[in-house]
Amino acid sequence: MTFIKNIKQKPFFDLILVILIIVFDQITKYLLMKDVGLNNTKAFLPGIVEFTLVTNTGGAFSLFKEFPWFFKLIGIINILIFSYLTFCPTVKFKNLMKTGFACILGGTMGNLIDRFFRGGVIDFINLQFMNFAIFNVADISIDIGVGLLFIGWFLRDKK
């Protein structure tokens, strides 16, 4: 247990986490583009989840899709900020918050790769049981990261 605690205190853990998020995000998109194809749908868990591959040039919920350059710029700025917050040794945050920053960084990098090399973010997870936007692994990672930041903020030492 001490070994795992010590690993989590090192930037190495966060770097591995960022890399795993990017790799998993890009592999899922690649495999589904190859198997399903863009603008097509494949049932995964009928009535619950289907894979619907779409390209999103905008932000969340396809907002402002007429400004794709803006989201590339915001992505680059976010990568710089979250790289600093995750890996700079002088920035003091609890491990939980550093892990949250790493999740946001990995998700942002996964989506930014799509923006530069695929013309937009590839989204594919479609929850059929509710009316919600189609999303991807990188989006989930960003959401988990934000959740970890909130938890870390609530658990912080109040001085």
Token couple for 54: 């779409």
C-alpha of 62 from chain center: 16
What is the enclosing helix (H) or strand (E) of 68? helix 68-87
Backbone phi and psi for residue 69, each to the nearest 5 degrees, phi listed first: -60, -35
The domain spans of the chain are: 2-154
Which residue numbers are catalytic? 123, 139
pLDDT digits (tens, 9 = 90+) for 70-79: 888 999 999 9
Q: Closest by alpha carbon to 103, among 125, 123, 78?
A: 78
- The per-residue pLDDT for range 3-42, each reduced to its tens digit, is 445 445 568 899 999 999 999 999 999 999 999 888 888 9
Is residue 126 classed as helix, strand or coil in its secondary structure? strand
